[in-house]
């Protein structure tokens, strides 16, 4: 009798545990196991557990609530078919006396090896500025031989860098928008991050706790002065329902493939509103490389003539842009509301020479704020002090400029004035800069419906695009890393870079850990390539930094003759190099444990390209295996150096010796 009772109790407990267990499948071999009793969930792929005891939290009206704290949980699901494909929307409804209602929502798809999670809080009048859809342990990475985590910056301002940090007990890494944590000995890794950027700023934390457990936390509502530039907390969202961003979550055998998938998912989740670019990969010249504030009409005409007459083979399918950066207003009479005739004359001249004119502007900044706020903002009758973004008891100043509220009619009138004038002049490209000023958190925007920095950014950028009216190629310099994809065609991968091997290394740090943005933007750019009087090795490296990033903007002062103009003729007109950027896609790094990878690879059809950089001050030998670039063998392939034009064949490994501060490009063909 006793055995029968125990047996019945066992089956009852088993039945109850099964009743509380839910399984959501994704892709070919993935599953999420949700426990209705505990409010936690696990995730597996091919029997690898890459999330354990996962849970969600939110802060409502200053109090933090966890999915583990609720008394009642019930499950519903519906079949969906959206931009990601066919799948299922799984919803866990959580309720408890004295707590706001919470929903955990999982999106799984038949053909995707990853899933999405978002959470909602609802009630008569709820408010939140912090929501964490995913946090938990990463058993698959416990005891990894070479555990590392990537820091992705919020923007590319103040010469900020990416990094890959080695993790051990009691160490963590904070990243903006996305976490990438991986074993560098196998490259297996977990990728998780926000794919929505119009409302929230997101922070991602990875690390190892005191007992050796690897963990992750992806939190919407993240601000940190050294990363997001904000000096106040994230804005508060209110209403009957407040929803977090969707968070991407996946395990990948190669974390680099995971980052490519993450970037592509962002492009799908928030597709571009900028017009579709159907023209060649951008090539051109920008005045900030050397000329800077010394820009003048006569000088830029001479630059135009140099490209038209002496660099006629430096073209992208016949196209080249001549872009005036900051201080083009040297050519105005009467300021931004004055006479633009000289600017129009220049644009007309560039077109006459068979090229395309470009221009620059920083639409969300006041560079004259130190002169006081009583100045009238051009385009309207507001004072600048009315346009300044309010932050606590002061304003937001960075890079020597004060942020302008993107939602203020005075800011928008000023944008409409300047963009209207530039369109009338006939400019076909615009480089927009210091866009991070538009994304700053404020305790009060002019538009009361806007309460977060990213909502303000969306408002400002959407208004700017309407003024541009599909008339110009849109290139962003300093700008939010993830949030800018829907508004622009080209994004600069790093901050300003000029001519030295150190500049090349800095730029390629951003490509080493940010190459995946090639799937988020039409093009990425390495900034104005300056040759100057550097040695040939530094010139080659700087040239290749553009090629491996995906587009090519030069920056020397070609109104004057010098070593740079001779070298430009040699390097910039190399047709085999220019052919590489025809598809506009970046190279991928081979190394993920250095400040900047020395080796980058790209496959274009049946051709493989290998770019090698020696940033050091000593000669260095590089030994490359076929497997490293996706080949079984080098036998039967030709390896051609695109600078020396020397070729080699039938090698088991490839060896290259580079001088200090040098670089080369190898073309590998069957």
Question: What span, in angstroms and rounded, lies between the C-alpha atoms of 308 and 320?
Answer: 9
Are 396 and 440 in contact by the 8 Å Cβ rule? The answer is yes
Q: Identify the H or E element spanning 257.
A: helix 255-269
262 and 316: one domain? no
Q: What is the CATH number of the domain that holds 306?
A: 3.20.20.70
Rounded CA-CA distance 415/210 in Å is: 52
Same domain, 446 and 476: yes
Residue 325 per-residue DSSP state: -
pLDDT surpassing 80 at residue 11: no
Q: What is the dihedral of CA 296, 302, 306, 307, to 10 degrees?
A: 50
Query: Which CA distances in Å does 115 have to 88, 202, 248, 622?
Result: 10, 18, 6, 39
Q: What is the pLDDT of residue 5?
A: 53
One domain for residues 484 and 347: yes
Domain enclosing residue 642, as ranges: 599-669
Does residue 5 form part of some domain? no
DSSP codes, 353-380: TT-EEEEEE-TTEETTGGG-S-SBPTTS
Is 332 part of any domain? yes
Smallest CA-to-CA distance from 373 within 392, 389, 391, 388 is with 388
Specify the 3-state DSSP secondary structure of 548: helix
Token pair belonging to 49: 């557990």
Express each pLDDT in 501-532 by its tens digit. Answer: 999 999 999 999 999 999 999 999 999 999 99
Mean pLDDT for the stretch of residues 573-589: 97
Residues 337 and 416 occupy one common structural domain: yes
Please say whether the beta carbons of 548 and 541 come within 8 A: no
Q: How far is CA 403 from the centre of its chain?
A: 22
Residue 92 confidence class, pLDDT cut points 50, 70, 90? very high
Burial of 276 from C-beta contacts in 10 A (0-12 / 13-18 / 19+): exposed
Of the listed ranges 352-366, 474-488, 631-645, the least confidently predicted one is 631-645
141 and 73 in one domain? yes
DSSP 31-76: EEEEETTTTEEEEEETTEEEEEEEEEEEEETTEEEETTS-SEEEEE
In a domain, 208, yes or no: yes
Alpha carbons 634 and 648: distance in angstroms, whole number: 10
CA 445, distance to chain mean position in Å, is 26
* 619 in Cβ contact with 658 (< 8 Å): yes
Does some domain include residue 547? no
Rounded CA-CA distance 49/42 in Å is 7
DSSP string computed for 109-176: ETT-SEEEEEEEEEEEEEEESEEEEEEEE-GGGTT-TTEEEEE--SBS-TT---EEEE--TTEEEEEE
Residue 44 vs residues 214, 224, 308, 648: alpha-carbon distances, Å: 16, 33, 59, 46
- For position 16, what pLDDT does the model report? 43
- Which is it for the CA torsion 538, 541, 546, 549, positive or negative? negative
Q: Which of 236, 269, 302 is the last residue of a domain?
A: 269
Q: Residue for token digits 């792929």?
A: 45
Q: Considering the domain boundaries, does residue 461 fall inside one?
A: yes
Shared domain check, 192 and 338: no
Same domain, 244 and 295: no
Q: Up-side HSE of residue 344: CA atoms within 13 Å toward CB? A: 11
Chain centroid to CA 595? 18
Q: How many CB atoms lie within 10 A of CB 283?
A: 21
Taking the C-alpha atoms of residue 27 and residue 108, their distance in angstroms, rounded to an integer, is 8
Distance CA 501, CA 390 (A): 41
Interval 598-616 mean pLDDT = 96
Classify residue 490 by burial, with Cβ atoms within 10 Å: 0-12, 13-18, 19+: buried
Sorting pLDDT into bands at 50, 70 and 90, what band is 613? very high
Query: Would you say residue 3 has pLDDT above 80?
Result: no
Torsion of CA 396, 402, 405, 408, to 10 degrees: 140
Q: How far apart are CA 640 and CA 411, in angstroms?
A: 53
- 376, pLDDT greater than 90: yes
Query: Does residue 308 share a domain with residue 216?
Result: no
Token couple for 562: 């010098």
Q: Which of 435, 467, 492 is the last residue of a domain?
A: 492
Query: What region does 527 belong to: left with phi over 0, alpha with psi -120 to 50, or beta?
Result: left
Q: How far apart are CA 474 and CA 325, in angstroms?
A: 14
454 plus 380 within the same structural domain: yes
Give dist(CA 125, CA 61) in Å, integer: 10
Judged by DSSP in three states, 663 sits in: strand
Residue 225 has pLDDT above 70, yes or no: yes
Q: What is the pLDDT of residues 239-248, one digit of tens each?
A: 999 999 999 9
End-to-end CA distance of the chain: 78
- Asked if residue 242 lies in contact with residue 128, where contact means CB atoms within 8 angstroms, the answer is yes
pLDDT one-digit tens code per residue, 525-553: 999 999 999 999 999 999 999 999 999 99
Q: Are strands 429-432 and 356-361 parallel, antiparallel or unpaired?
A: parallel
pLDDT bin (cut points 50, 70, 90) of residue 652 is confident
Return all residues near 133 (Cβ < 8 A) that are at least 6 apart: 56, 104, 117, 118, 119, 218, 220, 244, 245, 246, 247
Give the confidence band of 648 by pLDDT, cuts at 50, 70, 90. confident
pLDDT of residue 635: 87
Distance (Å, rounded) from C-alpha 538 to C-alpha 165?
28
Q: Are 200 and 245 in contact (CB under 8 A)?
A: yes
Measured CA to CA in angstroms, residue 469 lies from 105, 241, 420, 431, 463 at distances of 38, 34, 10, 15, 10
Q: Residue 251 corresponds to which tokens in the numbers above? A: 């395990």
* pLDDT on residue 572: 97
Task: Report the number of distinct structural domains present in the chain.
Answer: 3
Mean pLDDT of 140-147: 94
Q: Which two tokens stand for residue 258?
A: 């995971």
Residues 366 and 262 in one domain: no
User: Does 568 fall in a domain?
Assistant: no
Q: Are 243 and 217 in contact, with CB atoms under 8 Å apart? A: no
Q: Quick one: 122 and 205 in the same domain?
A: yes
pLDDT tens digits, one per residue of 259-301: 999 999 999 999 999 999 999 999 999 999 999 999 999 999 9
**pTM (predicted TM-score):** 0.95
Residue 410 and residue 307 in one domain = yes
As a whole number, mean pLDDT of residues 41-47 equals 96
CA atoms within 13 A on the CB side of 365: 18
Query: What is the model's pLDDT at position 646?
Result: 83
Q: Residue 14 — very low, low, confident or very high, per pLDDT cuts 50/70/90?
A: very low
- Mind listing the pLDDT tens digit for each residue in 415-473? 999 999 999 999 999 999 999 999 999 999 999 999 999 999 999 999 999 999 999 99
CA distance 439 to 156: 13
Domain end, chosen from 269, 292, 323, is at 269
Angle between the N-to-C axes of helices 409-425 and 341-352, in degrees from 0 to 180, rounded to the nearest 10:
40
Q: Are 407 and 461 in contact (CB under 8 A)?
A: no
Q: Pick the residue with more confidence: 209 or 649?
A: 209
Output the average pLDDT for the chain. Answer: 95
Q: Domain for residue 288, yes or no?
A: yes
Rg over CA atoms, the chain = 27
For the cut 60, the answer to whether the pLDDT of residue 17 exceeds it is no
Task: State what percent of residues in the chain have pLDDT above 70.
Answer: 97
Q: What are the structure tokens assigned to 525, written together?
A: 């750019």
The alpha helices in 289-446, defined as continuous H runs, are 297-309, 341-352, 384-387, 409-425
Q: What is the mean pLDDT of residues 359-367?
A: 98
* β-pairing verdict for 552-554 and 283-286: parallel
Distance, CA of 670 to CA of 661 (rounded, Å): 30
Q: Is residue 1 part of a domain?
A: no
Give the span between the Cα atoms of 495 and 479, in whole angstroms: 10
Q: What is the tens place of the pLDDT at every residue in 169-195? A: 999 999 999 999 999 999 999 999 999
């Amino acid at each position: 009798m006793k055995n029968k009772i125990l047996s019945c109790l066992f089956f009852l407990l088993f039945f109850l545990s099964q009743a509380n267990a839910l399984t959501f499948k994704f892709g070919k071999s993935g599953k999420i196991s949700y426990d209705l009793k505990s409010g936690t969930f696990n995730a597996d792929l091919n029997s690898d557990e890459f999330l354990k005891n996962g849970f969600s939290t939110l802060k409502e009206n200053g109090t933090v609530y966890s999915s583990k704290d609720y008394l009642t949980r019930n499950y519903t699901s519906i079949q969906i078919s959206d931009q990601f494909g066919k799948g299922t929307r799984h919803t866990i409804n959580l309720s408890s006396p004295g707590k706001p209602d919470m929903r955990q929502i999982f999106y799984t798809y038949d053909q995707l090896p990853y899933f999405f999670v978002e959470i909602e809080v609802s009630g008569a009048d709820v408010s939140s500025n912090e929501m964490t859809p995913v946090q938990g342990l990463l058993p698959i990475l416990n005891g990894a031989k070479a555990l590392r985590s990537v820091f992705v910056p919020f923007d590319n301002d103040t010469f900020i860098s990416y990094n890959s940090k080695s993790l051990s007990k009691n160490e963590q890494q904070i990243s903006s928008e996305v976490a990438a944590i991986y074993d560098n000995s196998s490259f297996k890794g977990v990728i998780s991050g926000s794919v929505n950027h119009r409302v929230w700023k997101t922070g991602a934390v990875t690390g190892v706790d005191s007992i050796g457990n690897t963990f992750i936390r992806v939190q919407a509502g993240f601000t940190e002065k050294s990363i997001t530039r904000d000096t106040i907390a994230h804005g508060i969202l209110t209403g009957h329902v407040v929803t977090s961003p969707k968070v991407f979550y996946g395990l990948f055998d190669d974390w680099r493939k995971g980052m490519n998938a993450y970037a592509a998912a962002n492009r799908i989740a928030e597709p571009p509103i900028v017009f579709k670019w159907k023209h060649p990969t951008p090539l051109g010249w920008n005045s900030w490389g050397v000329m800077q504030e010394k820009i003048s009409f006569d000088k830029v005409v001479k630059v135009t003539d140099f490209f038209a007459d002496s660099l006629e083979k430096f073209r992208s399918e016949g196209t080249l842009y001549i872009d005036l950066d900051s201080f083009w207003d040297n050519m105005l009479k009467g300021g931004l509301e004055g006479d633009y005739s000289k600017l129009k004359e220049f644009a007309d001249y560039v077109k006459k020479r068979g090229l395309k004119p470009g221009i620059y502007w920083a639409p969300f900044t006041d560079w004259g704020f130190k002169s006081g706020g009583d100045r009238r903002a051009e385009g309207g009758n507001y004072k600048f002090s009315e346009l300044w973004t309010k932050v606590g008891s002061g304003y937001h100043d960075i890079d020597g400029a004060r942020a302008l509220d993107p939602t203020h009619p005075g800011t928008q009138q000023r944008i409409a004035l300047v963009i209207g004038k530039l369109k009338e002049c006939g400019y076909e490209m615009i480089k927009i800069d210091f866009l991070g000023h538009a994304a700053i958190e404020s305790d009060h925007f002019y538009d009361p419906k806007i309460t977060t920095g990213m909502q303000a950014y969306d408002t400002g950028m959407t208004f700017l695009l309407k003024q541009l009216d599909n008339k110009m190629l849109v290139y962003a310099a300093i700008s939010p890393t993830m949030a800018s994809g829907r508004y622009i065609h080209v994004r600069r991968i790093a901050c300003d870079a000029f001519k030295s091997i150190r500049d090349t290394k800095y730029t390629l740090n951003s490509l080493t850990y940010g190459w995946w943005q090639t799937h988020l933007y039409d093009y990425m750019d390495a900034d104005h390539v300056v040759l100057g009087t550097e040695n040939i090795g530094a010139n080659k490296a700087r040239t290749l930094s553009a090629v491996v990033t995906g587009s090519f903007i030069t920056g020397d002062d070609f109104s004057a003759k010098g070593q740079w103009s001779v070298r430009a003729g040699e390097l910039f007109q190399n047709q085999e190099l220019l052919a590489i950027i025809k598809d506009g896609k970046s190279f991928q790094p081979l190394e993920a444990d250095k400040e900047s990878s020395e080796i980058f690879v790209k496959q274009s059809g049946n051709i493989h390209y290998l770019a090698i950089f020696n940033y050091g001050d000593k000669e260095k030998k590089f030994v490359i295996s076929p497997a490293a670039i996706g080949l079984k063998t080098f036998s039967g392939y030709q390896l051609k150096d695109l600078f020396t034009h020397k070729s080699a064949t039938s090698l088991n490994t490839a060896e290259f010796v580079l001088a200090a501060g040098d670089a080369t490009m190898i073309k590998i063909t069957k």
